[in-house]
A and B are shown apart, each in its own frame.
Chain A
Amino acid sequence: MKPAPFAYAAPRSVDEAAALLAEHGGEARLLAGGQSLVPMLNFRLLEPALLIDINRIAGLDGIAEVAGGLRLGALVRHRALETSPLIAHRFPIVAAAMAEVAHLAIRNRGTIGGSLAHADPAAELPLLALLLEAKITAVSAKGRRVIAAADFFTAALTTALAPDEILTEIELPDLPAGSGWGFAELARRAGDFALAAVGAVIAEAGGVCRIARIAMAGVGSTPLRAPAAEALLQGGALDPGAIAAAARAAAAAAQPAEDLHASAAYRRHLVEVLTRRALSAAVARARKAAP
């Protein structure tokens, strides 16, 4: 299982990388962490003529505080997310979810930009980007644009990025003070892709739900939000009955496929269970954080 031959470039700046992409477009692939791309090259599922290694580009691996949130460079490694005090403080759901991602050696290399651009429907980071309503910056020789997470994942392993665009940074808007989070997934083994995963964010005030977000992975060709389920919770009491109803609605919104690991029916069942667990945890955390 050796890869097909390719030409190789290691640009030192985003502009240089963008210029290469402009010239080679669909014949080129960007190499960041490589933990998803290189297996595909080794299996010869992909045979790009040119591999553009962006790991030598300085300044793309920062985690910085900006107004209203955090800005993460595309080359921030999973390991850095897992151990960053800023992330632990501002987005503990990310720190918790990263512990489920693959294994140490993968997390040492894998990057947030790579994971989002690869867009595996069962991966944790795309789910989190959707849940946290991330804003994704794409740069090309023609300029830059910001893509909302809700518009970013278009199909399995497919994003809104054009062939000449590089994902350079991700902005995570702060969650409201006092909001709680929950994350639940089921994988066959520790670190495997989830059969289903659900993340939830809840904010409660005056005994009433102010913010409800539910996102799921592994049950559609992209990560999904569950707006109908969210609407059920919005403005109401966060009691077990409401949570159960929202969980059923989330399950109904899922679009699971069947594979050798699990049927669609079982995955849908998991969404209901995991949503209930994630929501319950989020509510509990929100109440603990309440002033």
Chain B
Amino acid sequence: MSGKRRVAVTVNGTRHEREIEPRLLLGDFLRSELDLTGTHFGCEHGICGACTVILNGDSVRACLVFAVQADGGEVLTVEGLGSVEALHPLQQAFHEHHGLQCGYCTPGMLMTALDLIRKHGRLTEAAVRAGISGNLCRCTGYQNIVAAICAAAEAMQSEEPAGDA
């Protein structure tokens, strides 16, 4: 039970096998083992939301899950959402509405927004504010983030059925 364990985690569609300590946080696994540095730590106690990723279909704090718990599971990070050449509708909406300034909270904000939209479809402004209340942003004052998420939710309804990234 002590010592390293072998885990297999599928991240953004690619399966990775590693030997890791049980105490390695999922966020550190992504950043250090897989060089996916898009997921950021802001507090390491679950409050700020910067580290939010999608694990087995649900948004979770990567600072409150150990990588061993994701063994056999599927993780979606911001790197799997879209690319510079092909932005996801959420990323496009943030770009158009100036929904980011320093960009540090942005990956967690995007993954939370994705989960909100998947679970709720269209969102009122109040529902978006409540839905992102667990994602702290110190730069934007939230106004443009809310506008971006409302716009993305709208765009994603007309695009695809709920449940797809």
Give min CB distance, A3 to chain B, whole Å: 5
Which residue of chain A is the closest to B22 with respect to CB atoms? Answer: A8
Per the 8 Å Cβ criterion, residues 10-51 of B in contact with A are: 21-23, 25, 28, 44-46, 49
Quick check: B69 and A5 within 8 Å, CB to CB?
no
Give B62-99 as 1s and 0s: 1 = Cβ < 8 Å from A's Cβ atoms.
Answer: 01111011000000000000000000000000000000
Quick check: A104 and B134 within 8 Å, CB to CB?
yes
Do A1 and B5 contact each other (CB < 8 Å), given the known contacts A105-B61, A108-B58?
Answer: no
Give B120-136 as 1s and 0s: 1 = Cβ < 8 Å from A's Cβ atoms.
Answer: 00000000001101110
Do A42 and B63 contact each other (CB < 8 Å), given the known contacts A55-B69, A105-B49?
Answer: yes
Quick check: B65 and A104 within 8 Å, CB to CB?
no
Quick check: A189 and B60 within 8 Å, CB to CB?
no
Which residue of chain B is the closest to A41 with respect to CB atoms? Answer: B23
Do A8 and B5 contact each other (CB < 8 Å), given the known contacts A103-B134, A104-B134?
Answer: yes
Quick check: A103 and B60 within 8 Å, CB to CB?
no
- The listed residue with most B CB atoms (<10 A of its CB), out of A6, A8, A9, A190, is A8
- What's the Cα separation between A106 and B60 when bound, in Å? 7
- What's the Cα separation between A35 and B134 when bound, in Å? 13
Q: Which residues of A lie under 8 Å from residue B112 when comparing CB positions? A: 104-105
- What's the Cα separation between A58 and B2 when bound, in Å? 24
Q: Which residues of B lie under 8 Å from residue A7 when comparing CB positions? A: 1-3, 22
Q: Which residues of A lie under 8 Å from residue B49 when comparing CB positions? A: 103, 105
- The listed residue with most B CB atoms (<10 A of its CB), out of A103, A106, A108, is A103
- What's the Cα separation between A108 and B134 when bound, in Å? 13
Give min CB distance, B127 to chain A, whole Å: 11
Residue in B5, B64, B134 whose CB lies within 8 Å of A34: B64
Quick check: A189 and B133 within 8 Å, CB to CB?
yes
Quick check: B65 and A34 within 8 Å, CB to CB?
yes
Which residue of chain A is the closest to B119 with respect to CB atoms? Answer: A104
Residue in B3, B21, B22, B116 whose CB lies within 8 Å of A104: B116
Size band of the interface chain A makes with B? 20 to 34
Which residue of chain A is the closest to B3 with respect to CB atoms? Answer: A7
Quick check: B45 and A1 within 8 Å, CB to CB?
yes
Which residue of chain A is the closest to B72 with respect to CB atoms? Answer: A56
Q: Taking the complex as formed, is A39 at the interface, i.e. its CB lies under 8 A from any CB of chain B?
A: yes
Interface positions of B (Cβ within 8 A of A) = 1-3, 5, 21-23, 25, 28, 44-46, 49, 52, 58-61, 63-66, 68-69, 112, 115-116, 119, 130-131, 133-135
Pairs of residues from A and B, 10 with the lowest C-beta to C-beta distance, nearest first: A103-B134, A8-B22, A39-B45, A108-B58, A7-B1, A7-B2, A190-B133, A1-B44, A38-B64, A105-B59
**Interface pairs (8), CB distance under 8 Å:** A8-B22, A34-B65, A35-B61, A53-B69, A102-B134, A104-B59, A109-B65, A190-B130
Interface positions of A (Cβ within 8 A of B) = 1-10, 31, 34-35, 38-39, 41-43, 50-51, 53, 55, 79, 102-106, 108-109, 189-191
Apart from A2-B23, A7-B3: 15 A-B pairs, beta carbons within 8 A: A4-B23, A6-B23, A7-B2, A7-B22, A34-B64, A38-B46, A39-B44, A55-B69, A103-B133, A104-B112, A105-B60, A105-B112, A109-B58, A109-B60, A190-B130
